[in-house]
Amino acid sequence: MPTHHRLIVIHATILLGMVAAATVAAQETAPAVEQSVKPGVNAKFLDESLDVDAWIARFEVESREVYHARDEVLKACGVKPGLRVADVGAGSGFYTRLFSRTVGPTGWVYAVDISPKFLQHISTSTSQLGMHNITCVLGGERSIQLPPQSVDLVFICDTYHHFEYPQSTLASIYSALDKDGSLVVIDFERIPGTSRAWTIDHVRAGKATFRQEIEEAGFELAAAPKIEKFSENYFLRFRKKLAE
């Protein structure tokens, strides 16, 4: 074989080896695509035939703890005039309305939900009430769809267990919070042998697991106040942990 042909073969072999090594390295370092923790958990909320009035009757009733304790919860959140709040999983919007009144004209509330029908209800009802400091945001299954550092508080009430892709969603929450931002999570105590069968079947994990997921996403627990009117729910407030 002529010398110049041999050099071409050698160079090609080296190049192919480099490409193969780079491919392996990329496969080893590329982040894995997050898998659903509970496929179909939000199917009923995405259904075009969703009966909003039926859900309002379930959500806005004194027998529901988070509704009954709404004033106590609002106080524990530390909401005050001028704050920017994201109500993630806003549902019928009863906390959205409370936040709107509390932050006042100098603050703002983002009602985030994956259900277009819930958002349409919130938009219509709050407009009729003269609340003009609210923006409805159609959230995605992996993101709350808010710009970086756009809010001071993210509020998640009975909704964290509906996060189908919690790692991705928490990353979007971390990004959306300002540097001194807080994350409030209210969810159900899931204790085998103690909690209701509905909770065991519906809520995928207990408080310790959810707390670990949130802390691994860059948050640290700031407070876990006792809400006197809670018997099945818990309240956790986290702060955004900044890089040192």
Query: What ranges do the domains of the chain cover?
Result: 1-30, 43-240
Q: Model confidence over 134-159: pLDDT tens digits?
A: 999 999 999 999 999 999 999 999 99
Residue whose entry in the numeric block shows the structure tokens 């818990």: 234
Q: Looking at residue 202, what is its pLDDT? A: 95
For position 244, what pLDDT does the model report?
A: 60
Angle at 154 between CA 180 and CA 221, to 5 degrees: 60
**Whole-prediction pTM value?**
0.86
- Contacts of 32 by beta carbon, 8 Å cutoff, 6+ apart: none
Predicted local confidence at residue 21, as pLDDT: 43
Q: What per-residue confidence (pLDDT) applies to 32? A: 72
Residue 3, pLDDT above cutoff 70: no
Shortest CA distance to 158 belongs to which of 215, 212, 203, 101? 203
Q: What is the pLDDT of residue 13?
A: 34
Q: Residue 30's pLDDT is what? A: 40
Residue 8 has pLDDT above 90, yes or no: no
Q: Going by DSSP bridges, is the β-strand pair 233-240/84-88 parallel, antiparallel, or unpaired?
A: unpaired
Q: Which two tokens stand for residue 197?
A: 């069968």
pLDDT (tens digit, 9 = 90+) per residue, 13-68?
333 343 344 433 433 344 578 999 999 999 999 999 999 999 999 999 999 999 99
Is the pLDDT score of 212 beyond 90?
A: yes
pLDDT above 70 (res 170): yes
Contact 35/28 with Cβ under 8 angstroms?
no
Kindly give, in sequence order, each residue whose CB lies less than 8 Å from that of residue 183, ignoring residues fewer than 6 positions away. Answer: 153, 154, 156, 173, 177, 214, 219, 237, 238, 239, 240
pLDDT number for residue 48: 93
For residue 208, what pLDDT is reported? 98
Q: What single-letter DSSP state applies at residue 215?
A: H
Q: What percent of the chain has a predicted confidence (pLDDT) above 70?
A: 86
Report the pLDDT value the prediction gives residue 242, as an integer from 0 to 100. 74
Q: Which fold has domain 43-240?
A: Rossmann fold (3.40.50)
pLDDT tens-digit series, residues 117-134: 999 999 999 999 999 999
**Does the structure show a pLDDT above 60 at 191?**
yes
